[in-house]
A = this chain, B = another copy of it.
Amino acid sequence: MSVTIYDVAKKANVSMATVSRVINGNTNVKPTTRKKVLAAIEELGFRPNAVARGLASRKTTSVGVIIPDISNMFFAELARGIEDIASMYKYHIILSSSDQNLNKELDLFDNMLEKQVDGVIFMGGSISENHVKAFESSNIPVVLAATVDDSQKIPSVNIDYYTAVYDAVSQLIEQNHQTIGYVPNNSGSSIEASKVQGYQDALKENNLEINESFIFEGDDTYQSGINAANYFLGLEQKPTVIMAASDEMALGVIHGAQDQGFNIPEDLSVVGFDNTRLAVMVRPELTTVVQPMYDIGAVSMRLLTKLLKNEAVDEHQVILPHRIIKRSSTKE
């Protein structure tokens, strides 16, 4: 059997309460008795039982993280940001992948409630009313990371996706591109909808025609980028630049085009989105929209800690800055 707070109390000749006080850093303990207790703890090799503590205090110092797919670079970097801040604030992370499946997401959330997590960080494609209902009725804080809830009811951390794409496309137009292909992902998320809107509005405001054939939907994989390249390059009127909704798809576009003998950026420019590490692991290096994944994760977790401690937070819907980084996959 493992050693408990009671054993320590006996050995140090004090009460359980006093032991509890010293392990919790309560100041109301005489230095000498603190010393005594610490010595007993050391000697016995006592290690507090977090489960018992959780039951008694109704706080587990653990937070749930629901993520679509941890093996996806984008989310993995986000997760790292979450984790670093969590460990800084002494929170543990219970991690689960949801595969963007609505029921699985809800189930996972429920499981986390059973585990009595103090809060959760949620990443996912779409936030339905069911999500909002589940989150709101849970009595624990939830923050959305790189995930938007159109109802604005749940705290979240994002960039301004609409403007990000709008800016990127506008810049392309300034660089004399008139025919611009876009490869959205098929997540059906409102984030992607905003991005498409940004694309279309940028065209419109520059008096360029919105051509339905200049949109080819991908599924966020490299292969779907290749497919997109094949599609666009087979068009009668080819675009002079293709923008993809993620770097991975953009790499697919680059290689798909190169495989057909096109030169990037001479024959075709390519723009990505996210600025994952992939962006520089390709030739030519990828011009892309910077989405600060690590920061989104870190800020989300920081926001959650504030919510957990009932600290004042001025803005529940935080928007982090984005920017465009020009590399060599685009020609002016």
Contact = CB atoms under 8 A, between A and B. Distances in A.
Contacts of A55: 49, 51-52, 55
A259 to B, nearest CB: 8
Contacts of A62: 94, 115
Contacts of A47: 110, 113-114
Contacts of A258: 283
Interface in A279-305: 280-283, 294
A60 interface: yes
Summarize A's interface: helix, strand, loop or mixed. helix
Interface string A267-284: 000000000011011110
A61 to B, nearest CB: 9
Contacts of A72: 76
Interface stretch (A77-85, A170-178, A314-322): A77-85
| Tally of this chain's copies | 2
A93 interface: yes
A49 B111 CA distance: 10
Contact of A92 (B84, B87, B96, B280): B96
A277 B84 CA distance: 26
Contacts of A49: 55, 114, 116
A48 B79 contact: no
A83 B110 CA distance: 17
Contacts of A278: 281
A73 interface: yes
A163 interface: no
A34 interface: no
Contacts of A161: none
Contacts of A192: none
B80 A222 contact: no
Interface in A53-71: 54-55, 60, 62, 69-71
Nearest to A87: B96
Contacts of A50: 114-116
Nearest to A223: B280
A187 interface: no
Given A55-B55, A87-B96, 6 more contacts: A50-B116, A51-B116, A73-B73, A93-B96, A278-B281, A281-B281
Which 3 residue pairs spanning A and B have beta carbons closest together? A71-B80, A95-B95, A76-B76
26 contacts: A47-B110, A51-B51, A51-B116, A52-B55, A55-B55, A62-B94, A62-B115, A70-B80, A71-B76, A71-B77, A71-B294, A73-B76, A76-B76, A80-B97, A83-B96, A87-B96, A92-B115, A93-B96, A94-B95, A222-B277, A222-B280, A251-B281, A258-B283, A259-B283, A281-B282, A283-B283
